[in-house]
Amino acid sequence: MYINRELSWLEFNARVLDQARRAELPLLERIKFLAITAGNLDEFFQVRVGGLRLLRRSGKYTPDAAGLSPSDQLELIRARADAQVQAQYSLFNDELLPLMRVAGISPLSIGSLAESRVATLRRYFEDNVAPLLTPLAPEVDQPPVLPSLSIIIALELAGPGEESSRLVVVPLPDALPRRMHFAALDEGYVPAEDLICAFIADLFPGEELRAATPFRVTRNSDIAVPEEGADFAREMEAVLVARKFSDCVRLELPASTPPALADRIARAVGAGAEDTYRVPGLLRLTDLGDMAREPGHDNLKEEAWPSYPAADVDPSQSMFDNMAQGDILILNPYESYEPIIRLLEEAAADPDVLVIKQVLYRTAHGSRFIKALCRAAEAGKQVTVLVELKARFDEGHNLVQAERLQKAGVQVVYGVKGFKTHAKITLIVRREHGFLRRYCHFGTGNYNEKTAGLYSDVNLLTCNENLGADASQFFNSVTGLTRLMRFRRIFPAPSGMKDKLLSLIRAETHRALLGERAEITAKMNSLNDPDMMQALEQAAEAGVHLRLNVRGICCWAPGTPAARSRTRIISIVDRYLEHARIFSFLNGGSPLVYIASADWMPRNLERRVELLIPIEDHAAARRLLDVLDACFRDNTQAYVMQEDGSYTPVRNHAKPFSLQAHLQRLARLKAHDQERAGRLLLEPHVPIP
């Protein structure tokens, strides 16, 4: 049975919302999960709804694998999204907001404050807010572009004795904090939009303020890059500009907005009835997530888990010496991501390193990777970096980083025409004893030290000769624009990965038909490739036992009783974002284990440059098999897919078991063993209980 992709995604967001409902979690953790669901919906409307609108407008009514046309999908999305928004606000207003008041961190109503405090707020508005505001008139022949996802104040103004009124809009300045704290207020904060609405009439002397309300516009961001011109960076800049002028796909208004004003705002931004969402409370709930990230209120947060030193890395030796002793597998954030950064920083300073090549998809602000690459180029090393400019919503940041790299002397390549380059790979060539040796990093996550502490990923550090030769071939292909072929061990997309995965599934299917034990265990973020889903259905029918841990979108559910009896599909939602892609095939009792940068989606397997990496080191493969097994022991944070594609929490009478708590515990025990063995800790500040 095929499940619509968009509805499957909304089902995933509902699972995230379930975490915000967990009464046993500290308050700020619940608020964090609520904010994540709001941010997820923002991106969903920008990309998925925006894309469906374009499809419907183009007249393409071809149904998806689930048999739904673009119009059908938009209608179902509207119903599901509206229900999800109502659930968000029901949770926030009825449960979280009362708890926030008790904790002294809730939004305050200006109307409930004493006159002396209101006077303080008015003075603050006059001195620190009013000079930043820019009123705009949207009801003109060439209206101003209103920013997407920003809070905007709509004002209905009229002169003395005038029946008609005019509409004025005031975007919240970026320099203005959303939550405004004042020494005169003992606890809580005033939302910036409330402060502005309370006093903005002072900016329009001689006019009557008849109504004021905040609102929010979401614009379509599903705008393709032409890739026809010679200057790809300039084309991407044009796309970023185009997004500012794109169609409105969602208008959010407080439920209390007067109908006449709501209609006027909708006309001004080009929103129809199906685009308009009336929300019963604070707009842009995603901003609440900042409260969980800010220092303080530790009693309202879960105790942070430290990243322990990777036990297979000796900090007294260079990363090159460590890797020369054998493959190193690092599971972040349970184990520190520092060795991956350290490898590049050591390479930048090492006079024997001649060449550094790396793919960058999403990097952190203030990235240590970028700094190390610049230092390496400035030291005279040959440094080549493929910067993916089509990394959605990071395009502007990547343009800036690319310019910085180029100024330092780095050879920057802007991806492969027609494809996103999503592979996670670094190649370092070092002169050793008169010979050249390759050192490689392959991963499932981006080169981003910030998200490495939030996402659960796998890293392989190796100087395996075959993998090193493949890494060289990979970079030669993507920079020289030749076909991705003739690899020894790795399987790239779009040229070989899908065929390899299908052949592995068919091999297990063949074993099952011969009466042998056959099993596939896979962990990924999304599954919606029709060929992969069909192969899985055939495998389960033939007798292959399938265990799939699909965090987000899963568009396949077994279609027959026989297939269902051999298939278990789960999703784990916990404190870290499950991001690793790990695949295992029983192979007659000699398991084949792989990690990948790709999910099982057409975009990854057919329209992106990705890598599937075999894990040939026995100890590393065993660790990953244990991770996969632990996924299906989770009975606290796992959800199991039902026949209709819905999910229910896994609950049984076994001892409570959490995948992430298990991996954290293993990292701690390995660090204990390292300490007892007398090895120095990589990060001395990390306590080992």
**CA pair distance 595, 615, nearest whole angstrom:** 7
pLDDT (mean) for 340-349: 98
Query: Average of pLDDT values for 340-368?
Result: 96
Domain locations in the chain as residue ranges = 1-105, 108-236+248-281, 319-489, 493-657
Residue 28 in this model has a pLDDT that exceeds 70: yes
Least confident span in 46-55, 425-434, 478-487, 525-534: 478-487
688 pLDDT above the threshold of 80: no
Q: Mind giving me the DSSP string for 123-187?
A: HHIIIIIGGG---B--SSSSPPPPPTT-EEEEEEEE-TT-SS-EEEEEEPPTTS-SEE--TTSSS
Distance CA 546, CA 538 (A): 11
Instruction: Identify the CA nearest to 92 among candidates 285, 278, 256.
Output: 285
Catalytic residue, candidates 297, 365, 397, 422: 422
- Compute the distance between CA of residue 299 and CA of residue 296 in angstroms, rounded to an integer: 8
Average pLDDT of the chain is 91
Taking residue 170's Cβ as centre, other Cβ atoms within 10 Å add up to 21
Is 63 or 453 the better-scoring residue by pLDDT? 453
Give pLDDT tens digits for 255-295. Answer: 999 999 999 999 999 999 999 999 999 999 999 999 999 99
Find the mean pLDDT for residues 309-316.
93
- DSSP of 282-329: -S-GGGGHHHHHSSS-GGGSPPPPPPBPPTT--TTS-HHHHHHTS-EE
* Residue 252 DSSP SS3: strand
Q: Is 459 helix (H, G, I), strand (E, B) or coil?
A: strand
Local confidence band at 480 (pLDDT 50, 70, 90 cut-offs) = confident
Take residue 584 and report the two structure tokens written for it: 């295992």
Residue-level pLDDT at 684: 45
Q: Comparing C-alpha atoms, which of 250, 445, 414, 243 is closest to residue 330?
A: 445
CA distance 293 to 290: 5
How much is the CA Rg of the chain, to the nearest whole Å?
27
Q: What pLDDT, on a 0 to 100 scale, did the predictor assign at position 391?
A: 58
Looking at residue 479, what is its pLDDT? 87
Stretch 200-212: mean pLDDT, rounded?
93
Indicate if the pLDDT at residue 238 is higher than 90: no
Nearest CA to 474 out of 538, 518, 425, 435 is that of: 425
pLDDT at 258: 95
Closest C-alpha among 214, 218, 224 to residue 257: 214
Can you tell me the mean pLDDT for 448-467?
Answer: 97
| d(C-alpha 238, C-alpha 254), whole Å | 33
According to CATH, what is the number of the domain 493-657?
A: 3.30.870.10
pLDDT score recorded for residue 161: 80
Same fold for the pair 108-236+248-281 and 319-489:
no
The pLDDT tens digits of the residues spanning 373-387 come to 999 999 999 999 999
Check whether domain 319-489 has CATH 1.10.10.10, yes or no: no
Q: Contacts by 466-474 with C-beta closer than 8 Å and gap 24+?
A: 467/440, 467/442, 467/613, 468/427, 468/437, 468/438, 468/439, 468/440, 469/438, 471/357, 471/425, 471/427, 471/438, 471/440, 472/427, 472/438, 474/423, 474/425, 474/427, 474/611
Say whether 297 is catalytic: no
pLDDT value at residue 682 = 44
Residue 53, pLDDT score: 85
Angle at 492 between CA 488 and CA 498, to 5 degrees: 110
Average pLDDT of the residues in 189-193: 95
- Please give the CATH superfamily to which domain 1-105 belongs: Polyphosphate kinase N-terminal domain (1.20.58.310)
| Ramachandran quadrant class, 356 (left: phi over 0; alpha: psi -120 to 50; beta: rest) | beta
The fold of 108-236+248-281 is polyphosphate kinase like (3.30.1840)
- Amino acid 680: pLDDT: 45
Nearest-angstrom CA–CA distance, 600 and 577:
18
Instruction: State the helix-helix crossing angle for 70-91 and 5-20, rounded to 10 degrees.
Output: 0
pLDDT bracket for residue 245 (50, 70, 90): low
Residue 585 — φ and ψ, nearest 5°? -125, 125
Q: Out of 66-70, 149-153, 322-326, 610-614, which region has the weakest mean confidence (pLDDT)?
A: 66-70
The pLDDT of residue 240 is 44
